[in-house]
Amino acid sequence: DGGITQSPKYLFRKEGQNVTLSCEQNLNHDAMYWYRQDPGQGLRLIYYSQIVNDFQKGDIAEGYSVSREKKESFPLTVTSAQKNPTAFYLCASSPGLASGELFFGEGSRLTVL
Amino acid sequence: AQSVTQLDSQVPVFEEAPVELRCNYSSSVSVYLFWYVQYPNQGLQLLLKYLSGSTLVKGINGFEAEFNKSQTSFHLRKPSVHISDTAEYFCAVRYNSGGYQKVTFGTGTKLQVIP
Mean pLDDT of chain A: 92
Which pLDDT score, from 0 to 100, does residue B28 have?
Answer: 60
The series of mean pLDDT values per 10 residues for chain B, 115 residues long, is 90 97 84 92 92 90 94 96 96 85 91 96
pLDDT at A41: 85
Of the candidates B43, B46, B107, which has its C-beta nearest A101's C-beta? B46
More confident residue, A105 or B28: A105
CA dihedral over B64, B83, B113, A40, signed as positive or negative: negative
**Pairing state of beta strands B87-97 and B100-105?**
antiparallel
Question: Closest approach of chain A CAs to the CA of B42, in angstroms?
Answer: 5
- B92 in Cβ contact with B106 (< 8 Å): yes
User: How many residues in total does chain B contain?
Assistant: 115
Closest A-chain CA to B88 = A42
Predicted pLDDT of residue A99:
67
Determine the pLDDT at residue B24. 95
Q: Which residues contact B61 (CB under 8 A, 6 or more apart)?
A: B37, B47, B78, B85
Q: Is residue B113 a contact partner of residue B17, using CB atoms and an 8 Å limit?
A: no
pLDDT number for residue A1: 63
CA atoms A62, A64, A68, A73: torsion sign? negative
* Residue-wise burial string across B63-99, b where 16 or more C-beta atoms lie within 10 A, e elsewhere: bbbbbeeeebbbbbebeebeeebbbbbbbbbbbeeee
The answer on pLDDT for A97 being more than 80 is no
A107·B43 Cβ contact <8 A: yes
Q: Check: CB of residue B6 under 8 Å from CB of residue B26.
A: no
Contact B101 A98 (CB under 8 A): yes
Q: Which of A12-16, A48-52, A98-102 has the lowest mean pLDDT?
A: A98-102
Q: Which are the contacts of A58, defined by CB distance < 8 A and separation ≥ 6?
A: A33, A34, A44, A45, A46, A47, A48, B102
Whether the Cβ atoms of residue A110 and residue A86 lie closer than 8 Å to each other: yes
Which of the two residues, A76 and A1, has the higher pLDDT score?
Answer: A76
Q: Are A52 and A93 in contact (CB under 8 A)?
A: no
Whether residue A47 lies within 8 A of chain B, CB to CB, comes out as no
At residue A95, the pLDDT reads 86
